[in-house]
Amino acid sequence: MSTIINRIPMFFRENYDNWKLRMQAYLAALDNDIWYVITDDPIKIMKASSTTTPDGTPEMKEKPWSEWKAEDNRKNNLDNMEKDILYKTLDDNMFNKITTCTFAKEI
């Protein structure tokens, strides 16, 4: 059995386009949903409510944490995973520029 070691691509300002492609591939290899955290926002854990919209579809509301399943926990943690990965790609100078960012998408 062989093991493939995936090294996180380091960010260099002069090499952004190449880094972005490598990061997309790296993140997609980790989890299919993780790129959506970058392009959209953290995934909100939702459920259908008993109320319906005018077209008859159920309204969606945030699912209480006490009702989360393993898959909900995984999706909720994707933004944390993404921030951790992005932090590891930055040198101290670049890291200092993003310390106020709350979500991976902001970074």
pLDDT tens column, 14-66: 889 999 999 988 888 888 888 888 888 888 999 998 888 888 889 999 999 99
Classify the C-alpha dihedral 41-44-48-52 as positive or negative: negative
Q: What's the confidence (pLDDT) of residue 47?
A: 93
Q: What's the confidence (pLDDT) of residue 1?
A: 45
Q: How far is residue 8 CA from its own chain's centroid?
A: 15
Share of the chain above pLDDT 90, in %: 55
Rounded to an integer, what distance in angstroms lies between the CA atom of residue 23 and that of residue 29? 10
pTM over 0.85: no
Q: 3-class DSSP state for residue 48?
A: strand
Our CA angle for 23, 90, 72, nearest 5°, is: 55
Domains of the chain, by residue range, sit at 22-98
